Amino acid sequence: MSIVVLTGAGISAESGVATFRDADGLWEGHDVAQVATPEGFAADPNLVQRFYDERRASLASVEPNAAHLALAELEQELGDRLLVVTQNVDDLHERAGSKNVIHMHGQLRSVWCTACDARFKWDAPLVTNPPCPGCAVPNLRPDIVWFGEIPYQMDEIQQALLDADTFVSIGTSSEVYPAAGFVALASDVGARTLEINLHPSRMSRVYDEVRKGPATAVVREWVDEVLA
Ligand code: OAD
């Protein structure tokens, strides 16, 4: 058995982390282009640094929920036959105990030095323009993959999808590529595909099965079935 699970903002929603596409189309009151593109960062670096500083600081007040914990439990049983690919920049999968996790859109608790190209674990604000711990140049930016940038570890993800017999997406609107295309690739190579979401997504019709409901309940049920 080889399972790839793709997670999106919906898995962290019940932990109190805001999803990206609220009804008003804004992300915590901001236009996504303003805070999630290289152009937005160039136009107003302080606003963007403050935005991610707030998101990073708010991680201290959220906890993994039953869905993150169920996936960690599944990894305990399956080991490296389970890969979690997350679009989320929070650290709730790791705090739940998952180890085999790829953050394809980066992580809030990481910084990228655009002077020396190194990445570091990071918990402090960036709006103060601190020096890089490696080269001392104050050119740190959030280690987040913005629109127009290439997601991380795509070769590994593609290989895992080619090898998977089951592909499950949890709490993603499937509005953003390349993640939105993973189901088609998995399906093409014969994997069974399951979508778990509160609402239909843009890709629901492509899945073999769709289970509607909150991630905390539906992921738990699915993991229990796999472990039975
Ligand atoms: P979205 O905010 O686009 O979608 C969240 C999805 O979660 C929706 O389909 C909701 O129906 C679903 N949802 C909400 N609460 C849920 C719950 N309790 N249980 C199950 N499902 C629930 O978030 P993503 O699809 O993750 O990229 O967004 C993809 C990417 O767009 C993000 O990674 C981010 C953003 O721009 C970057 O930052 C690069």
Q: Which domains does the chain have, with CATH numbers?
A: 1-17+64-105+150-228 (3.40.50.1220), 19-61+108-144 (3.30.1600.10)
What is the pTM (predicted TM-score) of this model? 0.96
Model confidence at 83: pLDDT above 70: yes
Distance (angstroms) between ligand 1 centre and the Cα of 186 equals 20
Locate the ligand 1 atom nearest the alpha carbon of residue 149 and give its number.
39
Q: pLDDT band at 150, cuts 50/70/90?
A: very high
Residue 160: C-alpha distances to residues 78, 81, 125 (Å): 14, 9, 35
Distance (angstroms) between ligand 1 centre and the Cα of 103 equals 14
> Helix, strand, coil: what percent of the chain each, to 5?
40, 20, 40
Residue 30 is predicted with a pLDDT of 84
Pocket of ligand 1 (CB under 6 A): 8-10, 13-14, 19-21, 32, 36, 87, 105, 144-146, 171-173, 175-176, 197-199, 201, 214-215
Q: Which DSSP symbol is given to 30?
A: B
Beta bridge mates, 168 = 5, 194
The residues assigned a catalytic role are 105
